[in-house]
Amino acid sequence: MKTLEALYEAQKIAFSPFVFQTAATLIELNVLETIESNRENKLTIDELTQKVDVSKYGLTVLLEMAIAAGMVTSDEEGKLELTKVGYFVLTDKMTKVNLNFTQDVCYLGLFNLTDAIKKGTPEGLKMIGDWPTVYEGLSQLPDKIKKSWFDFDHYYSDNAFGEALEIIFKNNPKQIFDIGGNTGKWAIASAKHNPNVQVKILDLPGQINLAQQNINTINDIKDRVSYLPINMLDPLSEIPAGADVYWMSQFLDCFSEQEIENILLKIKKNCAADSDIYIMETFIDDQKFQAASYSLIATSLYFTAIANGNSKMYSKSVFKYIIDKAGFETVNEFPSIGTGYHTILHCKLKK
Ligand SMILES: C[S@@+](CC[C@H](N)C(=O)[O-])C[C@H]1O[C@@H](n2cnc3c(N)ncnc32)[C@H](O)[C@@H]1O
């Protein structure tokens, strides 16, 4: 890279929060949407001012930044158009959940990243609530933050559940333990998928309450779902016996390497010799698309600054090392699940 190009790239980093906030504001104030819906008959800033509730000054500063950042173009007559990047910022689902998550859940807290790195604790969490980790607070988050957190979480896992069900039900399990079952989406999907299966959701008490509220309204499955409020970080907590399948979706990445091993050891303590353990994760080294691996790598810093201070999005090799260390073997791998971000590791107790 030439010196001047490198200097330009360095300024993009120095001012990246300005670009981010410009994008968020242009969406919030309906400006990108209005530019796009007038694509056939392009608008100037003066014409745009008539259509959105923003001053000419406001539009000028925002759009100058958006043009410099490559989201919008302006032709010689000052007519505005979204670039392909701007179009994705406005319409792409992954970009939308990532942007809302960054803005509502992470933005203020990320200011505390240096302290979080130094202390190994989620120093930014205090910006949205007073809990030791975000998981104790999930059910109590203010509505907008809660929605952005769950939209982010569900965007990645929902798309994978259809294909995952086919894999998990190959051996016709009778009892599934959904560890980190959250609001019950997997429990609902699997109980609907198979009319005989029983599902037990294991999670922190706040999430168990949310899951119960959701599932109690669904008559044909509510009697086949049971609940166990549990804190996996409590050294005395136990995962009971009795599951054919232990299912953990986007769960183990919420913990440090040592904690992941401890949770696997809790499973090992009571599971049957032939139990199936399925771990579904978005591994940073198992992605086809740069956009996905970039998103996942950035997500690690959410864990650092806001979620719990000690976990991250992992690579598959790290997980397989921990699985092996805990006394399990990976007997099968299913990459590119759903829209392609997830991998399922099928594990069994070592013989
Ligand atoms: C990222 S969410 C994954 C939810 C769901 N399995 C999915 O695929 O979308 C992680 C879940 O783990 C739960 N969790 C985090 N820490 C926990 C702990 N110490 N004990 C029990 N559950 C915990 C959270 O409450 C949350 O429901």
Residue 340 has pLDDT above 80, yes or no: no
Query: How far is ligand 1, taken at its centre, from the CA of residue 255, in Å?
Result: 10
Our answer on whether the CB atom of 82 is closer than 6 Å to any ligand 1 atom is no
204 lines ligand 1 (CB under 6 A): yes
Nearest to 131 by CA among 204, 214, 185, 226: 204
Burial (0-12, 13-18, 19+ Cβ within 10 Å), 311: buried
159 pLDDT tier (thresholds 50, 70, 90)? confident
Helix, strand, coil in percent for the chain, rounding step 5: 55, 15, 30
pLDDT single digits (tens) 184-208: 999 999 999 999 999 999 999 999 9
Say yes or no to pLDDT of 209 above 90.
yes
Ligand 1 in contact with 184 (CB < 6 A)? no
232 lines ligand 1 (CB under 6 A): yes
CB 284 within 8 A of CB 314: yes
Q: Which residues are CB-contacts of 334 (< 8 A; sequence separation ≥ 6)?
A: 167, 343, 344, 346
Q: Is the pLDDT of residue 151 over 90?
A: yes
**Torsion angle, alpha carbons of 240, 342, 156, 70, to 10:** 150
- Please provide the size of the chain in residues: 351
Give me the chain's average pLDDT, please. 96
DSSP 249-286: ES-GGGS-HHHHHHHHHHHHHH--TT-EEEEEE--TTS
How confident is the model over 71-98, as pLDDT tens digits? 999 999 999 999 999 999 999 999 999 9
The alpha carbon of 181 and the centre of ligand 1 are apart by a number of angstroms equal to 6
CA distance 336 to 201: 25
> Which pTM does this prediction carry?
0.93
> Mean per-residue pLDDT for 162-169?
96
Average pLDDT over residues 147-172: 93
d(CA 140, CA 5): 46
Ligand 1 close to Cβ of residue 132 (< 6 A) = no
Confidence class of residue 339 from pLDDT cuts 50, 70 and 90? confident
Q: What is the pLDDT of residue 338?
A: 85
Cβ–ligand 1 distance for 349 under 6 Å, the answer: no
CB of 135 sitting under 6 A from ligand 1: yes
43 is written with which tokens? 């608008």
Q: Which amino acid is at 323?
A: I
- Where does the chain hold its CATH 3.40.50.150 domain(s)? 95-349
The residue-averaged pLDDT of 323-345 equals 95
Domain 3-91 fold: Arc Repressor Mutant, subunit A (1.10.10)
Model confidence over 247-287: pLDDT tens digits?
A: 999 999 999 999 999 999 999 999 999 999 999 999 999 99
| CB environment 93-119: b (16+ within 10 A), e (fewer) | ebbbbbbbbbbbbbbebbebbeebeee
Question: Would you state the pLDDT for residue 85?
Answer: 98
Give span(s): CATH 1.10.10.10, the chain: 3-91
Q: Ligand 1: which of 136, 156, 182, 280 to mutate, most ligand atoms within 8 Å of CB? A: 182
Looking at 23-37, 63-77, 153-167, 183-197, which range is the least confident one? 153-167
pLDDT of 33: 98
Q: Which of 206, 184, 56 is nearest to 135 (CA)?
A: 206
Neighbours of 89 (CB within 10 A): 23
Per the CB < 8 A criterion, the answer to whether 145 and 105 are in contact is yes
Nearest CA to ligand 1 atom 14: 180
Per-residue model confidence (pLDDT) at position 244: 97
CATH class entry, domain 95-349? alpha beta
Tokens of 341: 């971000």
At residue 157, the pLDDT reads: 84
Query: In the structure, what pLDDT confidence band is assigned to residue 351 with cuts at 50, 70 and 90?
Result: confident
